Structure 1
Amino acid sequence: MIHSLTLSDVLADHARSRPQAAAVVDGEVRLTYPELEARVTRLAAALAERGTGPGDRVLWLGQNSHAVLELLLACSRLGAVCCPANWRQSTDELRFVLGDLTPRVVVWQPSDAVTPLVQADGAWIRAGQEYEAFLASGSLRAFDQVADTEPVLALYTAAFDGRPNAALLSSAALLAHATSLQIVRRMEPDFAFLASGPLFHVGTTMFALATFHLGGKNVFMPAFDAEELCRLVDAEKVTQAFLFGQMIDAVVAANAGGKYDLSSMRFISHSAEWDAMTTVDDSPWCRSKMGGYGQTEVGGMLTFLGLAPGGSGFAGRPSPLVQVRILGPGGIEVPPGEVGEICARGKTLFSGYFARPELNAAKSADGWHHTGDLGKREPDGTITFIGPKLRMIKSGNENIYPAEVERALKTHPAVADAAVIGVPDDTWHQAVQAVVALKGEATEEELIEHVKGLLASYKKPRRVVFVEAVPKKGFTPDYDALDAAHGGGNYPGA
């Protein structure tokens, strides 16, 4: 397999080529690339001794940690698949993930949602001392070569039918995407990335892996904290972090007195206060305000606005390693200016969803990945993203699928029918609003708490409106009528 290059292979080469370079910083943990290589080797051996082999799944249930990167690299060495799950989900949601993914090994951190799921068998390893002892039990030994086309990372996404699906990404796809991102972001070998966003989110993972691929430094924080982020940027000379509007404003407030030096951050222009604290970056990625179109299934970004300065389409042009077509019914490409489904193929695309053969067949029809999103090609060749073919709500940086929230609402014994819309929100762009028809007695507060008990808190309705009947188009809610009647709007792409 002389043409194969896995994440594990990249690590092994960094250990030889960058023997003194910092690879990982996480609290008191500081690892050079040789040290990271040794730990990953031992971890892979320990996982193998626990029965983990090609195609098996390893699940991380916890906040951000260097252990996520170690588990991913160890899985790459074994041909296994690492899945960092959304720790903000409810116990019910995580129970679904466990049943769906059937992991060989689970590494977990205690939380209200996770702890009730912990089993007494040897497959559950608690993060911290137990994880360290497990890792240390592995030997330093050689492993067989693994093809870089084998899936190595699973990220849950696309809950259009009420339950999410695990998108599988190979080493080849992840490294291809990393290369594209390095070009557009103009990343250099001393690049230091702060994983301040969740590692179950492709937006954080894509930068962590691009930094790793380049031989840079990944700095981990368990979850976003503005004051701690300032401290880490100052101490580790961080180049970039996972940040968006509200997070940036919180950082500005936390550093209002100039206590920390944030000048190493080369980031987008945001506000006068932010720009004065940081260094406004001139890379295509930052000049374009990190614009483009992407999804988990394409490794992160499919198109970059930074590749189309002055272009008409606000999603920009495709990544150098993919093809994009706008297809209409029957898989026929539509002419510029007409709306169709954004479809793609190329080096960064995923390998399909785990255990979803029918969905995979539909999504890869005619040799193209059908994104489920609508767009159009402008006369100058750039792409405009219109919006999801199926309804999606964007609150903060989180994707919320109405079908998932509707399913949760309908499990309440007093709910006869329910539909969910997004309404404009000054802070979060959109807020979740439920429209409910009752067959018994229930209050707004009761239904909100019911959903909160089943789903991640950010998915719960902010408000519940009661109606006699939910308007329908065929068998599905008439979302246009619901938006018009109840103030819906601000959907992605609108």
Structure 2
Amino acid sequence: MIHSLSLSDVLADHARSRPRVTAVVDGDLRITYPELDDRVSRLAAALAGLGVSGGDRVVWLGRNAYAVLELLLACSRLGAVCCPANWRQSQDELRFVLTDLTPAAVVWEPSEAVEALRDHGTTWIRAGEEYERLISGTVPREFPQADDAEPVLALYTAAFGGRPSAALLSSAALVAHATSLLVVRQMEPGFTFLNNGPLFHVGTMMFCLATLQIGGTNVFTPAFDPGEVCRLIDAERVTQAFLFGQMIDAVAEANADGKYDLSSLRFVSHSAEWDDMITVDDSPWCRSKMGGYGQTEVGGMLTFLGLAEGGAGFAGRPSPLVQVRILGPDGGEVPAGEVGEICARGKTLFSGYFARPDLNAEKTKYGWHHTGDLGRREPDGTITFVGPKLRMIKSGAENIYPAEVERALKTHPAVADAAVIGVPDPDWHQAVKAVVVLDAGATATPDELMEHVRTALAAYKRPRHVVFADTIPKRGFTPDYDALDEAHGGGNYPGS
């Protein structure tokens, strides 16, 4: 095991080499690296005492908190798998996650949806006092070194078939991705990251782990709140936060009076007001507007614009620890300038989806991971992302898969058929629009169908527009989305 380096190993080394560095800040809680290492050892021992062992899953059901990082590191120490689930999901969606993963333990924060799921047979640990008693009441013990090639993190993604799948990422993949990211971002000792984006999203998680990798400080806040983000940037001298577009505008507006000093934030240029508040960063990551192409299955970023400044392709060049090929349907590489599927292999790639053998076989045809996205290699060698092979809607930072929303719509007793498209939206880039066919003699209003979907799925997946039609145009058994776009104003899809 001399070549192995797990997340747990990274923490253990920081405990020795950075004894005075603050690893975690969450409210009044401040934890140094030695203290974090001790807490993780106790938590791993406590979970083992509850029956959690190698390969078992541990689920977090709650908003952002220091416990997410601790659980992930404890799972790394045990050889188990941590899954931070999307707390914004409906009760039905969360029940699916629990049934799919069959976790050995669930750490949870109170909410109406989660309370209703506690009949699901497993060990439930309430966040807060019960979680802290579990840690303080357990004696740490040694565990055999975990294999860094084994999965340690599960993130749900890719609901193209109507239900999502859990992408499994190993310590080796996460360490490799973190190393690539911290080089492109030019992270240095003292780097402080504000985890204000969701930790069930790879965009936040990848920076959390890169900050861990460099021995920096992770600051946690439950969810995005512009005023609180300003306060924390000032109080903790935050270097970077999970911010984009409208979030940046909201933070700038919240600090319009200059109450908070945001100059520690080394971030991308955005507007005159924003640039005056922060320090515009000159790293390749920020100079390129934080761009590239990625997905959960590759650990976050597969390509970086920061590695191809001035290049023709607006996805940039591959991360240093991966290979990228543009492949045709037969598995052969297509010539530069032609569109094919973006495929990859290398150190940052995932280990497959949990309990999805058929999907895993399909995704790894010809010895490459098939991303499900179309791209093109430009004459200068850079990559252009063209768009998903299957339809996807991008609303704000959220990926919405039509099949998932269509499935929810079809459970309404009045709906005979439904198809979902994305339409341009001035605030969120795209909004969900449902085209619905009602059963003969049945009635339903747009508001009724929107509310029906909201009870089945996360609120951001709910259609904002509903129109009724006599039929859904089809290509074989699937909706003809191009015809639906033409008829109902669809557009603004990712890559278009």
* Fold-level similarity (TM above 0.5): yes
| Equivalence for 1:469 | 471
Give the corresponding residue for 1:7: 7
Q: What SS does structure 1 have at the residue aligned with 2:113?
A: coil
Q: Tell me which residue corresponds to 2:108.
A: 108
Residue of structure 2 aligned with 1:484, choices 478, 483, 486: 486
Alignment correspondent of 1:300:
300
Partners of 1:421 and 1:151 lie apart in 2 by: 35
Pairwise CA distance, 1:112 = 2.1
Q: Distance in 2 between matches of 1:230 and 1:359?
A: 43
SS at match of 2:325: strand
Deviations 1:49-104 (A, max 9, x none): 00000100000000000000000000000000000000000000000000000000
In structure 1, the partner of 2:224 is 224
Distance 2:232 2:421 in 1: 39
- Counterpart secondary structure, 1:117: coil
Matches within 5 A, 1:227-306: 227-306=227-306
Q: Which residue of the partner structure matches residue 29 of structure 2?
A: 29
Match of 1:379 in 2: 379
- Aligned length in residues: 494
Give the letter for the 2:41 counterpart.
T
Change in 2 beyond 3 A, CA 1:158/1:332? same
Q: Structure 2: give runs of 5+ residues left out of the alignment.
A: none
Measured in 1, the distance between the counterparts of 2:319 and 2:327 equals 18
Aligned residue in 2 for 1:444 = 446
Alignment-mate amino acid for residue 403 of structure 1: A
Distance 2:137 2:123 in 1: 15
Aligned-pair distance for 1:121?
6.5
Kindly report which structure 2 residues correspond to 1:31-430, keeping only aligned pairs within 5 A, or say none. Answer: 31-119=31-119, 123-430=123-430
- Larger deviation, residues 466-475 vs 132-141: 132-141
What secondary structure is seen at the aligned counterpart in 2 of 1:344?
Answer: strand
In structure 1, C-alpha distance between the alignment counterparts of 2:74 and 2:355, rounded to whole Å = 22
CA distance in 2 between counterparts of 1:453 and 1:329 reads 39
Residue 50 of structure 1 aligns to which amino acid in structure 2?
L
Aligned 8 A contact 2:40 2:74 in 1: yes
Contact 2:104 2:122 in 1 (8 A): no
- Give the counterpart letter for 1:472 in structure 2: K
Which secondary structure state, in structure 1, belongs to the residue aligned with residue 336 of structure 2?
coil
Distance 2:124 2:264 in 1: 40
Identity of aligned residues (%): 77
| One-letter identity of the residue aligned with 2:468 | F
SS in structure 2 of the partner of residue 46 of structure 1: helix
Runs of 4+ off more than 2 Å? 119-122
Contact 1:185–1:283, Cα closer than 8 Å, also in 2: yes
| 2:112 match: secondary structure | coil
In the alignment, the residues of structure 1 paired with residue 65 and residue 158 of structure 2 have an alpha-carbon distance, to the nearest angstrom, of 25
Q: Structure 1: how far apart are the matches of 2:39 and 2:129?
A: 14
Q: Distance in 2 between matches of 1:340 and 1:444?
A: 39
Q: CA RMSD in A?
A: 0.7
Q: CA deviation at 1:141?
A: 1.2
* Residue 122 of structure 1, CA deviation: 6.7
Q: 2:461 — aligned with what?
A: 459
Following superposition, the deviation at residue 472 of structure 1 comes to 0.5
Instruction: Note the C-alpha offset of 1:262.
Output: 0.1
Q: CA deviation at 1:138?
A: 2.0
The 1-side partners of 2:293 and 2:138 are apart by 42
3-state DSSP of counterpart to 2:82: strand
Distance 2:341 2:114 in 1: 38
How far 1:119 sits from its partner (Å)? 3.4
Distance 1:141 1:471 in 2: 62
Equivalent position SS for 1:331: coil
Q: 1:80 to 1:271 in 2, by over 3 A?
A: same
Residues 367-395 of structure 1: per-residue CA shift (max 9 Å, x gap):
10000000000000000000000000000
Conserved? CA contact 2:191–2:239, under 8 Å: yes
C-alpha distance in 2 between matches for 1:172 and 1:147: 9
Q: Does 339-348 or 103-112 show the bigger shift?
A: 103-112
Q: 1:5 to 1:416 in 2, by over 3 A?
A: same
> Any idea what SS the aligned residue of 2:434 has?
strand
How far apart are the structure 1 equivalents of 2:474 and 2:9?
53
Structure 1 residues 344-381: Cα deviation after superposition (integer angstroms, max 9, x where no partner): 00000000000000100110111100000000000000
1: distance between equivalents of 2:140 and 2:196? 32
Shift of residue 329, structure 1, vs aligned partner: 1.4
Q: Which structure 1 residue ranges, 5 or more long, are not aligned? A: none
Query: Matches of 2:314 and 2:121 in 1, distance apart?
Result: 51
Tell me the CA shift for residue 157 of structure 1: 0.1
Distance 1:261 1:211 in 2: 22
Contact 1:44–1:138, Cα closer than 8 Å, also in 2: no
Alpha-carbon deviation of 1:114?
Answer: 1.2
Deviates more, 1:153-162 or 1:135-144: 135-144
